[in-house]
Structure 1
C-alpha cells in the first residue's frame, strides 16, 4: 500500500491525522497568506466550502467516476466550485479577494483535498462522506487559522486586524506600524518555514502523530530466491 493510499484510507481527524501538521499537505497556502489571521480565516472557510461541496458531488457521481479517472474528476469538480466561489467573492468581498490573491483559485490544487476526495466514492453513505469531509476541512482550517494567528501576533502584535475585510463592504483598513527584529523575520518566507517547523515539532512532541494504521504495511512479504544448490522441481 502506497503512502497516498494510506492517507486516503485513514479517517480525517483534527489532532491524530491532521493533513498539514502530520501529513505535510497543503503547506503552500499555509505559508503564503498566514501573515493575517483574517485572510487565513477567509481561506480556511473558502476551502471548507469547496471541500464539502466537492465531497457531496463525488459521492453523488460515484457510479460515473471510474477509479482510473478519479483524480481528473476530482480536479474538475473542485475547479468548478472554486471558480463559482471566487466569482461570488469578487462581487461581495473584492478587497478580501485582493488579499488572497492567486491562492483563492489554488484551492482547486490543494493536495490535502485532492488526495482525500477520491476515497469518498466508496463511502458507506452520503452522511459518512460529508462528515469525513467536514473533519478534513476543520483540520486544515484549524492549522491555517492557528498558524496565521501566531504569525500575526509575532509580526504586528495584533489579532484579527482588518476584520472589516470579512464584511460585504470594506471600510478603511487598520494600518499597523512597521517593526523590526523578530517581527520582520517572521514576516519573511524563511521565517515562516522555520516557524512552521517549530510548530510541527511542538505538536509532535505533544502527541500529534499519524494513526498507527498509517504505518501498517499489508503488502505480501517477498521471499528470497535460492540461487545455489539444487533447485526445487515440481515433482518434489
Structure 2
C-alpha cells in the first residue's frame, strides 16, 4: 500500500492519463477517418500545384485539412499524459528502460504535434499564393516541394514504435495491463518498426501494410490503455 500523499499523487496521475489517453485515441481516430474520406489519394502531396488545384476544386478541403492536422496535434499533446501515467504504472519493471522509452515516445508525440501544425500553415500559405506567382517561380516552388519536418514519417515511427513494442512485451511479464493491450502494443510496435525499415528499401506495398497496422491500432491502444488507467486510478491497491 502507498502512503496517503503518494497514493493521492498516483491517483491524480492515473486519472489525468486515463482521460487524456481516451481523448487522444478519439481525436487520432477522427483525424484518420477524415483524412481517409476527404484527403487520401486526392492530390500529389509533393506538388504545391496539385494541392492548390485540390483546394480550388474542393473549397471545404482546407477545413478537412484543419481537422486532420490540428486533431493529430492536440491528440499528440494529450497522449503525452498517457505516456507519463503508463511509466508510473510500469515503474517497478525495468524502470531504466521504461523511462528512456517514455522519453522517446514523448519526443515522438511532440514531433507529430509540431509537424502537423507547421505543415498545415505552410501548405495553406503556399497554396493561397501559388496562382499569383509567375511560371518560373511556380516551377521552383513545385521542385522544392513541402519542407516538412517529418515528411517520411520515419521520425515518429522510430521514436514511438519501441515504446509500444516494449510496453506490450512488458505487459506479459508484470500483468499490470490486460493481455489484449500487450498484444496490440507488440503488433503496433512491429508495424511501426517495419515501416521505418522498409522505407529505406523502397517497397511501397510493405510500407503501406505496416503503416496501416500501426496507424489503425494506435488509437485503439490509446483508448484501451486509457480505460485501464482509469480502472487502476480507482483501485486503492495501486
Shorter-chain TM-score above 0.5: no
**Higher normalized helix content (fraction of residues):** 2
TM-score by length of 1: 0.27
More relative contact order, 1 or 2 (CA 8 Å, 6+ apart): 1
TM-score by length of 2: 0.27
